[in-house]
Structure 1
Amino acid sequence: MILILGGTGEARKLAEELVTREVRVVSSLAGRVARPRLPIGEVRLGGFGGVDGLAAWLRENDVKAVVDATHPFAERIGANAAEAAGRTGTPLLRLARPGWQPGPGDVWHWADDLADAARQLPGLGERVFLTTGRQGLPAFAHLHDLWFLIRCVDPPGPPLPRHHELILARGPYETDAERALLSRVDVLVTKDSGGTLTSAKLTAARELGKPVLVVRRPPRPAAETAGTVAEAVEWVLNR
């Protein structure tokens, strides 16, 4: 059995490719999204109970290899996967799509984390398009002088910025629609998620000359890494 720690488009594609090749796959989803897109094959929802729980699950289910295909900002599960795989001697691959890179015409500013992004924002504009996910919104809640257009998949809980408008939507997004939203703000804030599912906002920001505040990816434990689903498929088939 191959365990895929999923929740991303790459994880769903990997599961599909492996099931097509008659590899038994279990995709694990954290359950943080109310209506997640489910991959092909067996699916497990919810956490494992930390490193100890994940290590026990790997042993009990005779897992041959783990592919960590979680979101680039899913720090905790990535760290847990690395430690649990090390404890149990289970081969681990990190499937990590490349991050975004600025191109000609882009006006990008980089932040080390959400707190750093909040510190930089007042100098970049008064109206903000915030696309960093609902769990990070408390980092911006104290910025009472700014107005936020917030987009999330699921409704966020408090605390929220005092002045805001909330949009509930799930990608992929079209450039024309992103351009219309960005025309209402001064600056875009996003995480360096990479991929094409939500990259239309970057194209729209470039076309409109809007600055983008990009939150850098957090460090991950050292692990063998693949940048594409095809590379991950080859790695699994060679286990």
Structure 2
Amino acid sequence: MPVPVHVHVLVLGGTTEARRLAESLAGDRRVRVTTSLAGRVAAPRLPPGDVRVGGFGGVDGLAAWVREHRVGLLIDATHPFAATMSRNAAEAAAQAHVPLLALRRPGWVAQDGDRWHSVASLAEAAELLPALGERVFLTTGRMGLAAFAGAGLDALWFLVRSVDAPEPPCPARMDVLLDRGPFELEGEREILRHRRIDVLVTKDSGGAATAPKLTAAREAGIPVVVVRRPPVPEGVPVAATPDEAVEWVVRKLSAEGSGGADGSGSADGPGASG
């Protein structure tokens, strides 16, 4: 009979998927779940289990926290565009010899009728805008607005949607819409009509919560500038859903319970494909 194990799972969160993962693991007595939030949202929706808020102080700080709190499994369930945190997680997991999984919702896929323009960065998106429209629906969040604050874009008007109020530098001509998804299709249609939007800018965040804006833009024939997501660090296994992440955790627990652990809380090395 496998020996019961108690493993500390650290979830780097801030996404719907991270919260659902914590909810799914909360009933498993073999694990203790801690969700770490960056603290960039004033009133985040808290998941079950332990919650910590704030940064770790880079790679070394995260690795030290993992060791100090005897973390056995690390799951990077941050936003698909949190590239720095994902790189830090990969390096910290390697330092601490802890298995790492990336939980990433699939990206969006263009459909017939979409007028998408794929770009690599917010700066590239800003360069493209003057050729596409004059009234911009900017749905990339409050971080990175400086890319749209250049004098070359002063003739454009921006509707910026974010959870919390943005801080300067911001576009010269701008209205702010404070709102949090999920968003409904009819509401997105109304924004495009009422605000006379003629170009949409978004990051390829994926998921259903904010996808209705893409449908509304397709229906209206509006061009969409889509910022491509950064890749997951090389060698890190990826789960597309919280259920897949739970299965990964269960496999690791089974390996430890059957004697697969090496005494460090790790069933196998970071970057394992299991």
- Shorter-chain TM-score range: over 0.9
Contact 1:182/1:188 (8 A) holds in 2: no
**C-alpha RMSD over aligned residues:** 0.8
Q: Which runs of 4+ in 1 moved over 3 A?
A: none
Check if 1:234 corresponds to 2:241. no
Q: Over residues 34-70 of structure 1, what are the superposed CA-to-partner deviations in whole Å (9 max), with x where a residue is unaligned?
A: 0111111111111111111100011111111100000
Amino acid at match of 2:119: A
Q: Which amino acid aligns with 2:142?
A: R
Alpha-carbon separation, structure 2, partners of 1:145 and 1:18: 50
Specify the SS of the correspondent of 1:109: strand
Kindly provide the CA deviation profile for residues 1-30 of structure 1, in whole angstroms up to 9, marking residues without a partner as x: 000000000000000000122221000000
- CA apart distance, 1:219: 2.6
Alignment pair present for 1:141 and 2:157: no
How much does 1:220 deviate?
Answer: 2.8
Q: 2:237 is matched with which residue?
A: 224
**How far did 1:31 drift?**
0.3
User: 1:189 aligned to 201, 218, 221, which one?
Assistant: 201
Structure 1 residue 88: Cα displacement: 1.0
Q: Which runs of 5+ in 2 are unaligned?
A: 1-7, 253-274
Deviation at 1:236, TM superposition (A): 0.6
What is the CA-CA distance between 1:130 and the residue it aligns to?
0.3
State the TM-score, normalizing by the size of structure 1.
0.98
1:138-171 Cα distance to aligned partner (Å, 9 max, x none)? 1001110101011111011111111111111111
Aligned-partner SS, 1:204: helix
Query: How many percent of aligned residue pairs carry the same amino acid?
Result: 62
> Number of aligned pairs?
239
Deviation string, structure 1 residues 102-143 (Cα, Å, up to 9, x no partner): 011111111110000001011100110000111111100111
Alpha carbons 1:102, 1:108 under 8 Å: kept: yes
Match of 2:220 in 1: 208
Q: 1:168 aligns with which of 178, 201, 208?
A: 178
**Partner residue of 1:54?**
62
SS of the aligned residue for 1:54 comes to: helix
| Gap runs ≥5 in structure 1 | none
Q: What whole-Å deviation, never above 9, does each CA across 1:182-230 have from its counterpart, x for those lacking one?
A: 1221000000000011111011111111111100002331201111111
